[in-house]
Amino acid sequence: MTNPTPPVPVQAAAHLLVVDDDEEVGALLQRYFGAQGFRVTVVGDGASMHERLASESVQLVLLDLGLPGEDGFELTRHLHEHWRGPVIIITGRGESVDRVVGLELGADDYVTKPFDLRELLARVRSVLRRAADQGRPEVISPPRHYHFAGYRLDPKSRHLTSPEGETVALTSGEYELLSVLLEHPHRVLSRDDLMTRIHGRDAGPYDRAIDVQIGRLRRKIEPNPTHPILIKAVRGVGYLFAEPVQRE
């Protein structure tokens, strides 16, 4: 990474959100882009990213892939579906397959570490200009809550509350799976659809990861997991969420 260059005029005080658990990289980007006239916020994980996007106006996300908890691919997919600001992946993973997956999941650019700060600045400016030219809305307002079968899911906190008012603990994968199903009620989703939306890859012919996650989720929300009425299997195709879903 090269030394910072003197500041030059930029778009009006764009707010960049850096999501990277490497404190040195975060501090470097904050200093450099701050000197270029940007407002820069640095967070170290996906949960903090979600909180910032829900509470602040952000024009661009600089996202590392190797994060604790939800990895960068999961977060890229989530941003592509629930947020419409641009995303640049910054990562030490230089393999072409990672680049392709990141871009297919919705990233606007992909920069490998160690990067040249002047080149990164040029890429940030270019992506912001394209976003402005396309008139991309910054945020797709998510519902405050999903309601189904007496349950309530809060997308902001990622808390699921049972009909009895108790918290149902969900893993990150279970939350993502449930969110996808609730976004597409009464629609059959294939295993490939679900795998791509949740994990950023197609399901292989012997890949039963989605079936395992479906089983775990059923045990947490179905009245009788052996005879599911909420998440139904469609033989040879995939799964659908059969219960009406209300978005508050």
Helix (H, G, I), strand (E, B) or coil at 136: coil
Task: Report the C-alpha gap between 235 and 149 in whole angstroms.
Answer: 24
Of 112, 134, 156, which closes a domain?
A: 134
Range of the domain at 113: 15-134
Strands 15-19 and 39-43: parallel
Task: Report the C-alpha gap between 87 and 23 in whole angstroms.
Answer: 20
87-110 pLDDT, tens digit each: 999 988 767 777 787 787 788 888
CATH of the domain at 209: 1.10.10.10
Co-location of 31 and 116 in the same domain: yes
Co-location of 113 and 157 in the same domain: no
Co-location of 125 and 150 in the same domain: no
Co-location of 73 and 160 in the same domain: no
> Which percentage of the chain shows pLDDT scores above 70?
87
Co-location of 206 and 152 in the same domain: yes
Q: Please count the structural domains in the chain.
A: 2
Co-location of 45 and 114 in the same domain: yes
pTM for the model:
0.54
Helical H runs in 36-164?
46-55, 72-82, 96-104, 117-134
Of 104, 134, 164, which closes a domain?
A: 134
Output the pLDDT for position 137. 45
122-131 pLDDT, tens digit each: 999 988 888 7
If pLDDT is split at 50, 70 and 90, which confidence band does 36 have? very high
**Cα 72 versus chain centre, distance:** 8
Of 80, 100, 134, which closes a domain?
A: 134
The neighbouring-strand residues paired with 58 are none
Co-location of 28 and 115 in the same domain: yes
> Which percentage of the chain shows pLDDT scores above 90?
41
Closest CA to 221 of 147, 145, 144, 151: 151
Provide the mean pLDDT of the chain.
83
Co-location of 176 and 80 in the same domain: no
Helix (H, G, I), strand (E, B) or coil at 128: helix
Residue 7 resides in a domain: no
Q: What mean pLDDT do residues 226-230 have?
A: 95
Co-location of 89 and 166 in the same domain: no
Residue 182 resides in a domain: yes
